[in-house]
Chain A
Amino acid sequence: TQLLEQSPQFLSIQEGENLTVYCNSSSVFSSLQWYRQEPGEGPVLLVTVVTGGEVKKLKRLTFQFGDARKDSSLHITAAQPGDTGLYLCAGLSPSGNQFYFGTGTSLTVIP
């Protein structure tokens, strides 16, 4: 059973387009993180959200945590080839001892 489902699984877009990646769960999380992972490397932390309804912006990336803290979205404006990678969401377990990772969204931005 996958606690966190991400959609879409694969996304290929042209440079300059906008996109949104979704991370959904039936579970409530006290904290949720978004990472980007490139081939052969470890996940790199992009943002941590903790408050329901919270919106955080990181340059062209906008992260939103759902009011019920069960889902989150990542919106990228004017995508660039450097945004290519695997985007992972991760929710903190109730014990606080581990993060449950989503299935991932593989993004390719075509120049």
Chain B
Amino acid sequence: NAGVMQNPRHLVRRRGQEARLRCSPMKGHSHVYWYRQLPEEGLKFMVYLQKENIIDESGMPKERFSAEFPKEGPSILRIQQVVRGDSAAYFCASSLGQGQKTQYFGPGTRLLVL
């Protein structure tokens, strides 16, 4: 019973490049959440998605960041024109949904922007 999977685990980008982070939820889970953990800071919510729908993106920066969860395939968090301040650990969590709010986290993707 595979848990939440994220890849890549580590990603290095130069300033101005694009970063694509992927998340496959637990089997049977249709709700995905993305969080960011900056060095010495706690986990901050970014976006909540269901299949083909963005439910809550109140934590997403207004520019350069986007997320999707297509009907088929993993959820993608995309960061365009990365800057050094984007360096962080990005975690994906999934839940069963429909009242089941318990979230299970993946191992994270550590993004380093040079």
Contact = CB atoms under 8 A, between A and B. Distances in A.
Interface of A: 2, 31, 33, 35, 40-45, 48, 88, 90, 92-93, 95-104
A88 B103 contact: no
B42 A97 contact: no
A30 to B, nearest CB: 9
Interface stretch (B13-21, B66-74, B104-112): B104-112
Interface residues of B, number: 23
B102 A48 contact: yes
Interface of B: 4, 6, 33, 35, 42-45, 48, 55-56, 58-59, 91, 101-108, 110
A96 B101 contact: yes
A24 to B, nearest CB: 14
Contact of B103 (A2, A33, A100): A33
Contact of A42 (B59, B101, B108): B108
Contacts of B4: 42
15 contacts: A40-B110, A41-B107, A42-B6, A42-B105, A42-B106, A42-B107, A42-B108, A43-B91, A43-B105, A92-B101, A98-B45, A98-B48, A98-B56, A99-B103, A104-B42
Given A2-B42, A97-B58, A104-B42, 7 more contacts: A41-B108, A44-B105, A92-B101, A97-B56, A98-B33, A98-B48, A98-B59
